[in-house]
Amino acid sequence: MSNVRKRYRVRRSGPLHGSVQVPGDKSIGHRSLIFGALGRGVSHITGLSEGLDNASTRQAFGSMGIGIQSAGGRTAVHGLGLRGLRMPGDLIDCGNSGTTMRLLAGLLCGQRFGTRMIGDESLTRRPMGRVIKPLRARGAQIAGTAGTKPGELYPPISIAPLLEGERLQGIEYAMPIASAQVKSALLLSGLYAAGPTAIEEPVLSRDHTERMMLALGVPVQTAGASVILDPNLEWSGGWEPFDWHVPGDPSSAAFPLLAAVMVPGSQVSVRDVCVNPTRTGLLDWLRLLGANLSRRPSGHGAGDEPIAEITTAHGAIRGSLAGGELLVRMIDEVPAVCALAAVCKGHTEIRDAAELRVKESDRIAAMAQVLGAFGVPCEELHDGLIIKGGAALHGARIESRGDHLIAMAAVLLGLLAEGESLIEGAEAVDTSFPGFVALMRSLGAEIVEETL
């Protein structure tokens, strides 16, 4: 995360109008860089986010001998094949990006060189046992660090090289919690395994890795929440360079779209948004609330990801339950959903979201505090929140806790509150949404960004 401290001053806003484009999806960006680095030749990527999280993945591959250049919105990745990575000369710093660390853990445990991955203070508090333990079960020499919770493993992560003649083993793994990061780590390690990698999730998490592998000819089979990668099936053992476009991040798009739903008289469109079915939980939930929402398809992106323009407008909405499979498909949008719940009629109940307690912050506790500061009645649950809509909001002073989604969710509430709101720690937003303030101001929002 940046060492520069920032804060936002937010005032109650008039109607928001306009058509905008948000940064490229981080999840797809990470994976596009990974598959580009492992390809045989120079791949080109457009739409890659300039946020700090994707930059962490880019820098990690640069330290392992992958040439990466960007110009005019187009990034060239000079892939060296599955066995072309070189031992980094120093620690791999993943910054604030848990995706970088977890996906690289799977990739690097199959290499002939050792590595050690570190992160910033926030990442160092995030649990890594969920990815380390199944990788160990397939023969990886990988270790985490003891931390605050007994029996849990945290960064830094150390990975010893496989010796000449050693290979990772096949694995059948039933995941206790749906997690695209753990699933992807196992699939990436499976590229270097002697036998099949078979994974079963409780419900299907985002499937960007599987889509990309299928597009590149990797022997992957999917059926519902199950996926099998069998490297012993006939395939070339690699893939040729590609030219991919990273569509807009639906988690980032949630903020201008929900702002339009919340602020009277508003209508906003967001172009070029990824509408992969594993990422459209928020859109499906908005329909349940009776929100004014439309979607217009506009092509496909990296790994055949569907893309659309999404438009929302202000209107009366009613609270509803968000949980189960739907919650999995909108997990990153929950802080924004909490802000939206403040204007819903009746109660909004968020359940099955215990995973949010181990993100960049404890997002359940953080949003309970944010809502309370603005005057929104809520009850914190072990796996979610119950939020009562309809309260008159007043300005508040909020600390982001180093979490970009908490900072942006507080902005949504500030747009409706009487008086000025201050959001401290706003530099966290640069990890995922550089240009957030400029985009919101272009729609008519009353936000000022200050560098401290």
According to DSSP, residue 203 is labeled S
pLDDT at position 310: 98
Burial 269-301 (b: 16+ CB within 10 A, else e): bbbbbbbbebbbbbbebbeebebbbeeeebeeb
**332 counts as catalytic:** yes
Fold equal for 6-24+247-451 and 88-236 = yes
Whole-prediction pTM: 0.95
Q: What is the predicted pLDDT for the residue at 148?
A: 87
So what's the pLDDT on residue 3? Answer: 73
CA pair distance 320, 341, nearest whole angstrom: 9
Whether 37 and 9 have beta carbons less than 8 Å apart is answered as no
Instruction: Write the CA distances from 64 to 1, 31, 99, 372, integer angstroms.
Output: 22, 16, 18, 46
pLDDT in tens, 275-322: 999 999 999 999 999 999 999 999 999 999 999 999 999 999 999 999
Cβ distance 46 to 307 under 8 Å?
no
Question: At CA 282, angle to CA 309 and CA 434, rounded to 5?
Answer: 65
pLDDT digits (tens, 9 = 90+) for 164-215: 889 999 999 999 999 999 999 999 999 999 999 999 999 999 999 999 999 9
First to last CA, the chain: 15
CB 180 within 8 A of CB 191: no
Cα→Cα distances 370→165, 384, 401, 426, Å: 54, 14, 11, 14
User: Rounded to an integer, what is the distance from CA 243 to the centroid of its chain?
Assistant: 22
**Active-site residue (options: 332, 352, 383, 403):** 332
Domain residue extents for the chain: 6-24+247-451, 88-236
What is the CB neighbour count within 10 angstroms for residue 438?
11
Alpha-carbon separation of residue 41 from 36, 190, 241, 307 (angstroms): 8, 22, 5, 27
What are the start-end ranges of the E strands in 202-322? 220-223, 226-229, 243-245, 267-274, 292-300, 306-313, 321-322
Tally Cβ neighbours within 10 Å of residue 240.
Answer: 12
Identify whether the C-beta of residue 452 lies closer than 8 Å to the C-beta of residue 9: no
CA atoms within 13 A on the CB side of 268: 28
pLDDT in tens, the chain (452 residues): 457 899 999 999 999 999 999 999 999 999 999 999 999 999 999 999 999 999 999 999 999 999 999 999 999 999 999 999 999 999 999 999 999 999 999 999 999 999 999 999 999 999 999 999 999 999 999 999 999 899 999 999 999 999 988 999 999 999 999 999 999 999 999 999 999 999 999 999 999 999 999 999 999 999 999 999 999 998 999 999 999 999 999 999 999 999 999 999 999 999 999 999 999 999 999 999 999 999 999 999 999 999 999 999 999 999 999 999 999 999 999 999 999 999 999 999 999 999 999 899 999 999 999 999 999 999 999 999 999 999 999 999 999 999 999 999 999 999 999 999 999 999 999 988 999 999 999 999 999 999 98
Nearest to 341 by CA among 380, 378, 369, 313: 378
The domain 6-24+247-451: what is its CATH number? 3.65.10.10
pLDDT of amino acid 2: 53
Exposed (0-12), middle (13-18) or buried (19+): which is 449, by Cβ within 10 Å?
Answer: middle
> Taking CA 335 as the corner, what is the angle to CA 333 and CA 341, rounded to the nearest 5 degrees?
100
Residue reference for tokens 């603005």: 374
Token readout for 50 is 């300039």
Q: Which helix (H) or strand (E) holds 51?
A: none
d(CA 401, CA 398): 9
Query: Residue 228 phi/psi, 5° resolution?
Result: -130, 130
Q: Which CATH superfamily is domain 88-236 in?
A: Enolpyruvate transferase domain (3.65.10.10)
The closest of 17, 23, 81 to 51, measured between CA atoms, is: 23
